Amino acid sequence: MRLMVTGGAGFIGSAVVRQAIADGDEVLNVDKLTYAASLDNIAEVADNPRYHFAQKDICDLPAMNDLMADFKPDSVMNLAAETHVDRSIDGPGAFIQTNIIGAYALLEAARAYAESGAAPKNFRFHHISTDEVFGSLGPTGEFTESSPYQPNSPYSAAKASSDMLARAWRETFGLPVVVTNCSNNYGPYQFPEKLIPVVIIAALEGREIPIYGKGDNIRDWLYVGDHADALLLVAREGKPGETYNVGGRAERSNLELVKMICQILDEELSDSPHKPHEGLIKFVADRPGHDQRYAINCDKIERELGWSPAQTIDEGMRLTVKWYLENKQWWDAIRNRGFDVTARQGLGKKG
């Protein structure tokens, strides 16, 4: 497959790029290299002759036109986005720009490419979205592919908007669009402003581990390698016009999750002066508009494409914790760029 991935220097995108190269695909990674990107994430494939990189903004329509016309992808997978909910509260503008205008530019470029006759017959435009577009659940129930959209944060509203654009480009222009909506990912190379790396690094350094509100918000957790497998399967075999939910079948409250990480750290670092790491937990002000619960029903992708999550949360979380322990140079390099891993964001200062 000739695969054009946007956002391939980020967390999930780089997992897709590494996996696609391992599978023998030809990959073009298009990434603007925002603060959330790291070329270290794709260092292992950088010299592979099947790997190509273009530092471009997906909002740049002429550049997207040129890249598609030159690379002639079988699939375009859009993972480029502003992704941190807290940042979307402090400054929604970048989210509107990349997540909506950027998606629009890619859809238009894909339409021009498809209409030029240069695209292969099985061309797909694959847009990656989130379960957050469905809003918040009570104690029971799960999101299915037909759940109504009820986004609550600027981040999820911008993602929902791009899903609607993808839908419209399919219905109006016949673009072969597939959309996937996934739950919270975890694993190696996640930028250290997201919950899991924040917790691991704070605990390692003996700092307070911040938990928003009472820690009773529930998320479904999906191992990033499983997600990359699902995305590559959908890019190859997903049916145009369909959406697929991708989940880890691993619901945990934030407090349960943090305690689990602390337990793993206690075991992996048996002579740490910060043991028991759970003692570092500190409840802090909640995120405004914090969704209470997400749960994903991923029966459709299992039934129709034969994908299900391979990693249990116990195994996946241990792999993840060990990766951060063994790859301090990766997160130190981010810190050395001036990123403050202890900064609290998302309390609603004007942006």
* Size of the chain, expressed as the number of residues it contains: 351
Does residue 31 bind ligand NAD (CB under 6 A)? yes
Does residue 12 bind ligand NAD (CB under 6 A)? yes
Does residue 9 bind ligand NAD (CB under 6 A)? yes
Nearest C-alpha neighbor of 19 from the set 3, 30, 39 = 3
Residue indicated by tokens 């116990």: 314
Restricted to residues 184-243, the positions that interact with ligand NAD (CB under 6 A) are: 184-185, 191
273 CB-near residues (< 8 Å, 6+ apart)? 206
Catalytic residue, from 25, 31, 86, 132: name it: 132
Does residue 254 bind ligand NAD (CB under 6 A)? no
How is residue 31 written in tokens? 């990434």
Segment contacting ligand NAD by CB under 6 A, of 180-188, 237-245, 267-275, 320-328 = 180-188
Nearest C-alpha neighbor of 110 from the set 136, 85, 74 = 74
H helices of the chain, where? 11-23, 61-71, 85-90, 93-95, 103-115, 154-173, 195-204, 224-237, 254-268, 299-305, 313-326, 328-336
Does residue 182 bind ligand NAD (CB under 6 A)? yes
Task: Compute the least distance from the CB of residue 88 to ligand NAD, in Å.
Answer: 11
Q: Out of 45, 58, 280, 281, which residue is the one contacting ligand NAD (CB under 6 A)? A: 58
Q: Which is nearer to ligand NAD, 196 or 280 (CB)?
A: 196
Tell me the C-alpha distance between 17 and 3, whole Å: 9
Segment contacting ligand NAD by CB under 6 A, of 32-40, 200-208, 293-301, 305-313 = 32-40
- Answer yes or no: 229 catalytic: no
- Encoded one letter per residue, x for contact with ligand NAD by CB under 6 A and - for no contact, window 91-110 reads -------x---x--------
Q: Are 60 and 107 in contact (CB under 8 A)?
A: no
Q: Are 150 and 304 in contact (CB under 8 A)?
A: no
- DSSP three-state, residue 218: strand
- Answer yes or no: 132 catalytic: yes
Does residue 295 bind ligand NAD (CB under 6 A)? no
Tell me the C-alpha distance between 331 and 345, whole Å: 19
Residue indicated by tokens 């799960």: 142
Does residue 143 bind ligand NAD (CB under 6 A)? no
β-sheet bridge partners, residue 341:
none
Q: Which is nearer to ligand NAD, 122 or 312 (CB)?
A: 312
Q: How many degrees, rounded to 5, is the angle at CA 75 between CA 72 and CA 76?
A: 90
- Answer yes or no: 155 catalytic: yes
Q: Which is nearer to ligand NAD, 12 or 313 (CB)?
A: 12
The site for ligand NAD (CB under 6 A) is made up of 6-7, 9-13, 31-34, 36-37, 57-59, 79-83, 98, 102, 128, 130, 159, 182, 184-185, 191
Active-site amino acid positions = 131-132, 155
